[in-house]
A and B are shown apart, each in its own frame.
Chain A
Amino acid sequence: MTHTRTTIALALGALTLTACGPSDSEWSPKVICHNANCVEPATPKEDDTLPALTESLALVDSDGRSLLDGVEIDTFWYGEEDRCLFAHDLESVDTADPIDDAVAAITDHLDARQAAGGDLTRTGGTFEVYVELKGHVGPAKSEKHTPAQRVSHAECGRDVAVALRDAATAGGWPIEVLFTSFDPDLLVELDALQDIKDMRASDGPAVVKLGILQGVPSPLDSQSEPLSNIPPSLDIDVISTHPHWARHASLEAAGSKDWSLSIWMFTIVPETLDAITRYQPDAITTSEANALTRWLDR
């Protein structure tokens, strides 16, 4: 009897361990620098600042390979002064840099990498610039754009894309510009501009795509819109979502529309890593490029 029980226990234990086994995968997501600030330790107050952007773009591994496949820059329409800022919010409005300076820092970096003969990206593909159009114009997230502000903000985004396209043409390197926003109306306004239409129809050197952002859902936060609020005429390419708050049904819905999946996060914890493993997104936006790439390469 004792032998039988011991044998059963050992057999079941072995079966359990076998069932837990790791699986192989060729999947290699793109790593995008969150808020132009992904040098550890993550310091939110340095988000969307030129020093953090420059330091982030310079991140390389021990072989000199870039840690990044792209960078996210935030454009904030400062309603009170009708200015387009390179900023996450208005906490440091007095010191916020113009968005043109952020674009110049990116193009200078790509020109330098190209001149040095190194790969432009970690995975060897096209460098991606995520341009987030912030959905509010004042200190509170509930302060939404007026129609006129929406047009102005869209034109600011258009100017970023045009500048990147011109630099890519001159530099001889390709680039992908993904415009993202929690507010689909901003993307609609942007998509109506002729330069954007032209770039979305062209094959390069600058490819323009549109992405919808999802985070803490309503009513807990006023930013995320239900997918049903996205106008059917808006040709979304990417959904960029936070895995702690994303519902599986939403991801399934996005997948059924053939939207590419991008995951964003503030900091690495087991929950985010598990979601990355489960959903295998095409891109990950992180504030910890060193830790994330070393986890991906483990």
Chain B
Amino acid sequence: MKPSITLAALTLLTLSAATPALAMTPEAAPDQETEQAEKTHFLELGLNLRTDLGVHPIRLNVGWRMPWLDVALTLDPMFWTDGQSSTDLAAFWLLDSGVHPYAGWRVTTIGLRDGTQLQQNLLLGVGMELPTFFDGLLRGQWGLELAVTAVKSGGGLPTEVVSFGSARSYLDLVNFAMFARFDFNIGML
């Protein structure tokens, strides 16, 4: 088994064990299920999984899901493995069709000797709703993403802004990726 898959499974188990919604006692379950079904605003906790090289394979989602909008902050717990981190803030429009166009911003930090470079990335993409489990408690999303590194700064290096004057200027800065999200949705309002 690939290490990243093993890590994903471990992290998912960790989250499931720690998620209050799944820790219901059998007597309390029916009431809570009813309450969950009536909620329209949800706190999301979950995983953002990748196989591409642009970010770490496992990151953590914290989000707020409303009837038509899902705002998600993605944090990078693997930052300490290589001195790099990628933090995303993205807004997904939840269309009835199950298609979720989104836009967001990613801040990537790259550790250097005596400094850190920041890379600011524009994110554009679309997510597709996956089947839900546990009466909507666990939701999934598969997505396609375009990330454009718009600005590089910091680390004592000159600030660079993406330019489209020559292919050599932007070819490495425009990248596509696919991802999968799995979030526990905890009814709040």
Q: Which of A1, A9, A266 contacts B168 (CB 8 A)?
A: A266
How far, in whole Å, are A290 and B157 apart by their CA atoms in the complex? 8
| CB 8 Å contact bits of A235-275 with B (1 = contact, 0 = none) | 00000000110000000000000000000011111111111
Interface of A is mostly: helix
Interface of B is mostly: mixed
Q: Is the C-beta of B155 less than 8 angstroms from some C-beta in chain A?
A: yes
How far, in whole Å, are A15 and B86 apart by their CA atoms in the complex? 22
Q: Is the C-beta of A20 less than 8 angstroms from some C-beta in chain B?
A: yes
Residues on B with C-beta less than 8 A from A9 are 14, 17-18
Taking CB atoms and an 8 Å cut-off, the chain B residues in 115-167 that contact chain A are 115, 117, 119, 149, 152, 155, 157-160, 165-166
Residues on B with C-beta less than 8 A from A270 are 53-55, 84, 86, 108, 110, 119
Residues on A with C-beta less than 8 A from B108 are 270
Q: Which of B5-13, B27-35, B180-188 contacts A (4 or more CB under 8 A)?
A: B5-13
Kindly count the residue-residue contacts between A and B in the assembled complex, taking CB atoms under 8 Å apart: 118
User: Residue on A with the closest CB to B175?
Assistant: A271
Taking CB atoms and an 8 Å cut-off, the chain B residues in 71-91 that contact chain A are 77-78, 80-84, 86
Q: Which of A41-49, A150-158, A202-210 contacts B (4 or more CB under 8 A)?
A: A41-49
How far, in whole Å, are A47 and B166 apart by their CA atoms in the complex? 12
How many chain A residues sit at the interface, stated as a range, is 35 or more
How far, in whole Å, are A203 and B83 apart by their CA atoms in the complex? 41
Tell me whether A268 and B110 are in contact (CB under 8 A).
Answer: yes
Tell me whether A298 and B83 are in contact (CB under 8 A).
Answer: yes
Name the distance in Å between B122's Cβ and chain A's nearest Cβ. Answer: 13
Residues on A with C-beta less than 8 A from B83 are 298
Q: Is the C-beta of B173 less than 8 angstroms from some C-beta in chain A?
A: yes
Residues on B with C-beta less than 8 A from A244 are 171-172, 175
Tell me whether B117 and A291 are in contact (CB under 8 A).
Answer: yes
> With A16-B7, A269-B54 in contact, is A41–B160 under 8 Å at CB?
yes
Taking CB atoms and an 8 Å cut-off, the chain A residues in 1-34 that contact chain B are 1-2, 5-6, 8-9, 12-13, 15-17, 19-22
Residues on A with C-beta less than 8 A from B54 are 269-271, 274
Q: Which of A13, A21, A265, A290 contacts B81 (CB 8 A)?
A: A21
- Count of chain B residues with Cβ under 8 Å from any Cβ of A? 47
Residues on A with C-beta less than 8 A from B11 are 12-13, 16
Name the distance in Å between B100's Cβ and chain A's nearest Cβ. Answer: 24
Q: Which of A15, A41, A44, A294 contacts B113 (CB 8 A)?
A: A294
Instruction: Name the residue among A13, A22, A272, A275 with the largest chain B CB count within 10 angstroms.
Output: A13
| CB 8 Å contact bits of B1-27 with A (1 = contact, 0 = none) | 001001100110110011000010100
Tell me whether B3 and A294 are in contact (CB under 8 A).
Answer: no
> With A41-B158, A268-B110, A294-B114 in contact, is A47–B175 under 8 Å at CB?
no
How far, in whole Å, are A45 and B166 apart by their CA atoms in the complex? 8
Q: Is the C-beta of B104 less than 8 angstroms from some C-beta in chain A?
A: no
Residues on B with C-beta less than 8 A from A17 are 77
Given contacts A1-B25, A9-B18, A268-B117, 14 further A-B contacts (CB under 8 A): A6-B17, A16-B14, A42-B160, A265-B172, A268-B172, A269-B54, A269-B119, A270-B53, A275-B53, A291-B112, A291-B157, A294-B112, A294-B113, A297-B113
Name the distance in Å between B31's Cβ and chain A's nearest Cβ. Answer: 18
Tell me whether A266 and B171 are in contact (CB under 8 A).
Answer: yes
